[in-house]
Amino acid sequence: MLALIPYSILSSVYLELMQKNILQIALDVPLDRLFDYLDGGFNVQIGQRVVVPFGARKVVGVVVGISDTSDFAIEKLKSIIQVFDGEPTLDADTFGLLRFCADYYQYPFGQALLASLPTRLRQTEPAVSRKQFSYAFSPEGLQASIEQIPARQALQRKIFSALQQGPITESMLKEISSGWRSAIEAFRVKGWVHAEQILAGFKSVLPAVPPPPLNEQQTFSVNQVIESADHFKPFLLHGITGSGKTEVYMQILQQLLTDEHSQALVLVPEINLTPQLEARFRSRLPHLPLVSLHSNLGESERLQNWRLAQSGQARIIIGTRLAVFTPIPNLKIVLVDEEHDGSYKQQDSMRYHARDVAMVRAQRNQVPIMMGSATPALETWQNAKTGKYTLLSLNNRAVAQSDLPNIRCIDTTKQESTNGLTPVLVNAMRERLEKGEQSLLFINRRGYSPVLLCSACHWIAPCMRCSSRLVVHLKQGRLRCHHCGHEQKIVRQCPSCGNADLHPTGHGTQRLEETLKQLFPEARIQRVDRDSTSRKDALNEILTAVHSNEIDILIGTQMLAKGHDFPNLTLVGVIDTDSALFSPDFRASERLFAQLMQVSGRAGRAEKAGEVLIQTAFPSHHLFNALRSQDYPAYAQTLLEERQTANFPPYCYLALLRAESSNYRDVENFLNFAFELARASSKQVLTYDPMPAQMERLKGMDRGQVLMQASQRGALQKLLAAITPQLRASKLAAKVRWSVDVDPMEF
C-alpha cells in the first residue's frame, strides 16, 4: 500500500509529525539563543542531555523546551544524534535559576547552563564516574599495632592513625597524601583493611560527637532560623571571630534535617576551608550523608557527588561558589559562611556572585538563608540595618576562657625596623618562643621582594606583558609576574644604565622567612603562600604540623587569615598594610578591615591570651581605632557615610563594560560605540566616559572600560538588556574580547 502513496504526500506527513517534536536545545556557544533540532524519533524529555551536530562538530546540549513550531523551515532543521538515557534530567528549578542569572549578568543562557555541569556531563561520551570506596580496619587490622609499621614508613603510620579514628573515604585519604594508594595496598596485602563502595554519600559509623552547650545568643540564633523553616527569610549572623558561628550552623542542620529527604546547601569561599568544615560536620552529624563540591576533586568524584546531590541521596552539600547551581530537589536551607569574602564573585565567564545567587535560590525555593561573617559586606550590613535581613549577633567567644586578643599598633615612623621588623615585634616573638607558644606573621605579598631597583637611575624591573613590576624570587633566581605568570632570570646589571648595583626593595614572604631564620636560628619556621603550597597536600601537611606544635613561627599570606583554629598560637604580627589605606579602589579599606579582623582572630582562640601587633605609619587611622576595639558596627557606619556621600554602593548600582585587545585602538573604538549607545538609550543611568583599566595592560592585552551607574537596579538592567544584543551584533565586537560585569567587585 505504501508504494501507492505519492512521495510528496509521505514527505508532508513526515514533516507534520516532526513539527510536533521540535526540540529547543541550549548549547555551550557565545550566542544568546536556543537552537531548534528534530528529535529524530528518540522521544526526548526536557532536561535530558543530547549530542547534536553544530557546524562541523558534535556538541553536547541540554533540552530546555519542546515545541511544534520553529522560526526556521522544518526541512532545514537537523536531528539530534544521541540521547543520554538513564540519567536524571535537570529540573525546572535549576533551569529557572540559571535563566535568571543569565539575564541578570548579561550572559548567554546556553553557556551558563553547560558551565554549571560537571566536566564529564559536557563531553560527548557517556558520563561514567569511577566507583568510590571507603576503607576501614578488618578484624586483623583492629588487632594490629602502629609499632608493627617501620618508622621509615611515615605515610603508612599516618594513615594507620587515621584509620584508628574510623572509616575514611578516598577523598579524605587524598587530603593526607596523594600517594595513599600504596599504603592502603600494603595494608590490604596484610589483611588489615577492607573496602566498601560508597553508594549514597559517606556516613560515618562513628558515634556523633556530642554538641557543646550553646550560649544565650547562639540558642536565640538557632531558634530564630528553625521558626522560619517553612518560608523564605534571610538572616545575617554577625559574630566576632571565635564566637561559634559554625556551631550555630550545625545545630540548625541537626534540627532542620529531620525528614529523611531534606537537604541543605552550605557554601564556603575557598577550597582550603572545605576539608576542615567537612570534617567537623561529619563528626557532629555522622548520620547525614554529606558530599563536597569544589575544584580540587577529581572529575569522577565531582560527578558522583553532584549526582548524589541531584538524586537527593546526599543530605548536606558543602561547596565553593559553583555549588550554588547544583540541583538539590529537597532544599530546606542555605548557609553562606564568610559571606563577605571576595572569592564568591566569579571574575570571568558569567560574573555572578554566589552569595547573591544563593539569596535568589532561597527565595525561589521559599527556604531560609543564613549568611555568617565577623565583617559582613557593607551591602549585606546595610540590608540588615534597614530590616531587609534579620540581624543575629554573637558578641562573645564560644570558649568561655577565651578572650579577644589585645590589638596594638606599632608606629613605624618612630620605631626603626630591621628588614621590615620592629624591635617590639621581634621581642614579642622571642617571648613566645621562650614560652613554647606559636606566632604568625601576616604579610600579603609572596616572593622575596616586590621590586628590583637600580640604585643609580631608579629603573625598576617591569613585566613586558603587564602594567606591573616583576617580583624577586631569590631562591629560584627568578623574576616573576604575579599577574600573567611571566618569569625570567634575575638580571645582573641595569638594562637602562648598566649599573650592577641592583637592590631587591620591599618585603615578601621569602625575605621575611630569611630574616627570621637569622634572628631565631633555633626556631622552626614555616612559610605558607602559593609557592610553598603548590605541591598537592602541602597545605594540609603544614596545618597538621602546626596543630602538632612542630612549628614555632608561621609566615603567611591571606591563605592563613581565616577559618583556621590554632590553640597554641598567641601572637599575630601584621606587616605592611598601609598601601590599602589610601587605595583608589573604594572597597580596599573594607577588604583590609575584614582581612585584619580575620587574621587577628587566629590569636588566643583557646585559654591562652592572644596579642596582635600591627606595624603601620598611620596608627591613629580610624580603621585601626575600630580594629583595636573590635567594633565592626562603628567602622561600617563610617564607611557607609563615606559611600553615601560619594554615591557608591550600596547607595547606587554599578555595571562595568570591559574590553581588551592587543591593539588599544580597537578597544577604544568599541568602548566609544558602547558609550554612545548607552548614553542614547537611558537618561536614568549615568554612563562615564571610556577610560583605560587600572591595570592598563595585562597578559599582553590592552584594556579599557566603561562604567555605568544608576540609583535603581531596574533602570540599569533595562539599559543592559537593550544594549548588550546590539554590542554582540556589532562588527567592532569581533575585534576585541569584551564582557559585562554587573555589580563589579574590582575595577
Question: Phi/psi of residue 244, each to 5°?
Answer: 90, 35
The more confident residue out of 629 and 449 is 629
pLDDT at 408 over 90: yes
Q: Which three cell numbers stand for residue 610?
A: 592572644
Mean pLDDT of 134-143: 85
In one letter, which amino acid is 577?
T
Task: Give me the residue label for grid cell 530564630.
Answer: 224
Looking at residue 353, its pLDDT comes to 98
In which order are the strands placed within the sheet that holds 35-38? 35-38, 22-27, 57-67, 49-54, 82-83
**Residue whose C-alpha is closest to residue 428's, from 408, 457, 456:** 408
Task: Give me the residue label for grid cell 572529575.
Answer: 299
Task: Give me the residue label for grid cell 562538530.
Answer: 57
Looking at residue 448, its pLDDT comes to 60
In this structure, is the dihedral angle defined by the CA atoms of residues 467, 468, 469 and 475, taken in order, positive or negative? negative
Domains in the chain with CATH codes:
18-122 (3.40.1440.60), 133-197 (no CATH), 216-303+314-394 (3.40.50.300), 406-449+506-642 (3.40.50.300), 653-742 (3.30.70.600)
This prediction's pTM: 0.85
The more confident residue out of 527 and 726 is 726
Q: Where are the beta strands (DSSP E) in 338-437?
A: 369-373, 390-394, 406-411
pLDDT at 70 over 70: yes
Mean pLDDT of 193-219: 74
Query: Where is average pLDDT lowest: 392-401, 418-427, 468-477?
Result: 392-401
Q: From CA 64, how far away is CA 43, in angstroms rounded? A: 14
CB 317, CB 323: distance < 8 Å? yes
Give the percent of the chain with pLDDT over 70: 91
Task: Give me the residue label for grid cell 590553640.
Answer: 567
Q: 701 pairs with which residues across the strands?
A: 698
Mean pLDDT of 197-216: 69
pLDDT at 8 over 70: no
Mean pLDDT of 614-634: 90
- Average per-residue pLDDT for the chain: 87
Looking at residue 20, its pLDDT comes to 58
Mean pLDDT of 643-666: 96
Q: Rank 115-119, 163-167, 276-280 by mean pLDDT and report only the highest.
A: 115-119
Q: Rank 12-26, 187-201, 381-395, 482-496 by mean pLDDT and report only the highest.
A: 381-395
Cβ-based neighbours of 640, under 8 Å, separated by 6 or more: 378, 381, 382, 650
Looking at residue 10, its pLDDT comes to 39
CB 273, CB 296: distance < 8 Å? no
Give the percent of the chain with pLDDT over 90: 53
Q: 653 pairs with which residues across the strands?
A: 710
The more confident residue out of 227 and 504 is 227
Q: Rank 291-300, 368-377, 554-563 by mean pLDDT and report only the highest.
A: 368-377
In one letter, which amino acid is 408?
R
pLDDT at 595 over 60: yes
In this structure, is the dihedral angle defined by the CA atoms of residues 669, 671, 677 and 680, taken in order, positive or negative? negative
Q: From CA 679, how far away is CA 689, in angstroms rounded? A: 10
Mean pLDDT of 106-133: 88
CA-CA-CA-CA torsion for 521, 524, 528, 533, nearest 10 degrees? 110
pLDDT at 33 over 90: yes
Mean pLDDT of 192-197: 80
Cβ-based neighbours of 405, under 8 Å, separated by 6 or more: 572, 600, 601, 603, 604, 609, 610, 611, 612
Q: From CA 411, how far away is CA 420, in angstroms rounded? A: 13
Q: Would you call the peptide bond into 234 cis, given omega within 30 degrees of 0 as the criterion?
A: no
Mean pLDDT of 711-733: 96
Q: How confident is the model at residue 746 (pLDDT cuts 50, 70, 90)?
A: confident
Looking at residue 129, its pLDDT comes to 65
Cα angle 469, 475, 481; round to 5 = 20
Mean pLDDT of 551-576: 81
Q: Rank 5-19, 357-371, 406-420, 520-534 by mean pLDDT and report only the highest.
A: 357-371
CB 544, CB 154: distance < 8 Å? no
- What Å distances lie between residue 7 and 19, 67, 392, CA to CA? 18, 26, 74
Looking at residue 1, its pLDDT comes to 36
pLDDT at 230 over 80: yes
Q: How confident is the model at residue 690 (pLDDT cuts 50, 70, 90)?
A: very high
In which order are the strands placed within the sheet that holds 234-239? 290-293, 316-319, 263-267, 331-337, 369-373, 234-239, 390-394
Q: Which three cell numbers stand for residue 633?
A: 558596627
Query: Where is average pLDDT lowest: 294-303, 434-443, 529-538?
Result: 529-538
Looking at residue 398, its pLDDT comes to 67
